[in-house]
Chain A
Amino acid sequence: MKWGRFMAFLVMVAVVIGLTVGTAMPIAKKIPLGLDLRGGVDLLYQIQPSSGQHITESGKQALLQAVELRVNNLGVASPIIDLEGRDQIRVQLAGVKDQAAAAKTIGETAQLAMYSSAKMDPKTGAPIAPAGKLLATGADLKSNASYVQDPNTGKNEVAISFKDPKKWENITSTYLGKPIYIFLNDNLLTDPVINEKMFTGDSVIYGPQLTTPQECQQLASQINAGALPYPLHLQSETSVGPSLGQASLQATLYAGMIAIILIFLFMIVLYRMAGLIADIALVAYGYLTILIFNGLHVVLTLSGLAALVLGVGMAVDANIITYERIKDEMRQGRSLRSAVKIGNKNALRAIIDSNATTFIAGAVMYWFGQGDIRGFSVALMVSIIVSLLTAVLLSRMMLLSFTNSGVVKRPWWYGVGKGVLKNDEA
């Protein structure tokens, strides 16, 4: 019996159990849950066509697309967007921190306008309202606006490009040396003086309303989502409960706990000590997954949970593959120690290939999917990586140090029955 190896094994077990018991709950509580699991905010918009404008079927589809684009720009997982009645759009969002800003981004068109002059506040001399000639609007801009940082000053800006570089060239040549006034929803954004003629149509805008990256991103996404075909008016804003139902989720939570306990017992019955090691690796899997979800600010939905369950399945599978291989090696007459070593080695390729294939599926789903599908694929990719770290790497380290410590010598501890072995002892 080697006490050093056994101590190393005990330390690994203690670290996993200690960290999980000590810190898992507070971290888990920080993970935002999706609309289906916790509910969120329900926004109802009235489509209000301007006078003389008719709502057409294609116009409604364009409007829904624009709304969807704006919701996606908010970075919200799995929104629900419904067309309601003849002239209403209902949007349900989960995990939104600033509801008012979200409601605004979805419903308001960024009315970006550039004017040749402005009314000045008589007291301060600061420009307050547009005047003079309307030079350009948000509609003149391409849909590729983005948040940038000035490489020299570090100032937050929004990079824009004009659809027609000629137009911007004309403006900059006409008003060379003069200020122009850029308003966002009738508030002055900035009043830059044009210093040189611009030929490419590319420019940046900045101003007192664009100080944080978030503000810049919001303006950029509003410009990119374009003008809404019809103005929207926010009619109501209510909080909604989980779409899967409170009682139902409570029951599911308990059932999930029973399932985990049964899986743990099943592994121990099948593989004894090795099964227990697999169970500890599973605890580490759960803990690391929670940690990464929290770090990535993933909004967890039922699809995400499904992917995690699949991840648990794959993690358990990795251990089962390894233990069956170890049994195979023992049947061929290897000693306990070398069976554990060779078994681990032989199992690895199957585990890597099967996990890599599923990971590729996850990556493709992320690339081509949206909403719920993306939530699923992110959770799947995270759980595959974590399961390789825990169910393969950690589990292997624990198993090897336990085996090499020589605490137990009977293969029974690894789930190997009597009669399959040629020489019963290591």
Chain B
Amino acid sequence: MSTPRITRLALASTAALAAAALLASCAGQAQSTDAAAGDPVEGGTLTYLEHQAYTTLYPPQAGFYPNGGLVNNLTARLTWQDPDSLEIEPWVATEWTVNADATEYTFDLRDDVTFSDGTPLDAAAVAKNFDTYGLGNTELGLTISEAINNYASSEVVDADTVTFRFSAPAPGFLQATSTINSGLVSPATLDRKLEDWGAGNAAEIVGSGAFVATREEIGTSLHLEAREDYDWAPPSFEHQGRAYLDAIDVVVTPEDSVRIGSLLAGQADVIRYVQAFDEAQVEGAGFEVIAAPTRGVNNSLGLRFTNPLLSDLRVRQALVHGVDAQEVVDTIFTENYPVATSELAATAKGYTDESEGLEYDPELSAELLDEAGWTVGADGIREQDGQRLSLTVYEAKPQPLSKQTLELVAQQLKEIGVELTVKAADSGSYAEDILDPLKTPLYHSMVGRADNDVIKSQYHTKNRNTLLSDDAELDRLLEAVASEPDPAKRDEASAAVQDHLTEQAYVIPLFEEPQVYGAATYVHGFRTESVARPLFYDTWVDEQ
């Protein structure tokens, strides 16, 4: 009884695919959601599809994109970082002073800001926020924020003035006050255990942002409502007062094809995580693809030089020159993924051009490996004293198309006689093995943050330490970035780190990683903060 139907279904889907392909081939391009918009309209509910469920709303742990996307809309911060100029502007703080060596910051606050339960956002509340984020609270399980270095103490000067002191220069602190990791929540919320910030608790997290979470289905969906009394958008925003949207439905939709299909079929308005291979389909159907840069350490492979196979500089240089990042981008990604020209993104603070030292030059690689005493063996893989030049890298689930990227890199390295085995691991072995340079000599990662400090986060032995480094010189250079109060000298310090990383061939940068969103044409004013988290405050929808 169901044959004819099944055949029809098969035909229908084939036809649909063909139509999509046709549309894709004559794709038009749209850059932002502001194109051809009229006057903003208040009201409506936006359906936003997330790729994964959030795990916690504790701001210092909001680096995970689903967490950050929520915290960004639920909390206001002391300052706002302009996503284009990267300037720090007032938000809850009207103005601030920093002493000469950046060990003391004083903020003046607006006196009309409240948390969503009505309690005032005053100096005492701000002090408690940063005491928690800067020092952590072991008893409650609240961890220290990666964005805050050398935090010592706070002092409430008066109801709308607060001073922070640091044990060593902390030039990155001002920018840190603008990040989602410093989202301001009510003092009572800060008394919650880490467990009580997790799934199922969103409605009880009292923030200071334009939206409030009101309903939640654990792991599946979240309903955010606009705060009627919100009136403290950053002064540089054209739009003031409450958010245009009445509400946002955040729906977790893990399956890529369902997320894209829902957008194209009009069931969703904005989606996060459009895979590179789906961009053409989304644009082709007349929708908008918004690729926001993450402005930090590029998507790259760290070479763990404490692994004996990688201890020779010439071998590392050979690997760096043996990888063709251009081919990776051309084959697997799109123009929204610019080829890396340094360890940092060109849009990152403190960037310096390192492309000369990173050039693709397989002949040079071969020479370097010959020099280092690695000779090509019978199967084309180089050997030395009976040992093969064979390395391992784990697929990194958080990076887009990591497996495909690594497999292509493995092919490229094979050309110069290096074997790269790409491994997929369950989370337990992955978490353990990536901490061992012998098991994971190459590590695939990136990190986004629009401040010079980002490079310290990625490479310092006391932070992410992605190189599993024992290079004291590298640490010293990184500490200079984190503690140089003069902005120009700080950029120089950052350039010195990039020079060192390139000279030592510690990193194979691949591309500048964006966050890619898809949006319907009737969605206007969708914007992202400086590290590409969605901000729905300005977003509005046309009558459809």
Do A and B pair up? The answer is: no
B interface with A by C-beta (< 8 Å): none
Contacts from A to B (Cβ < 8 Å): none
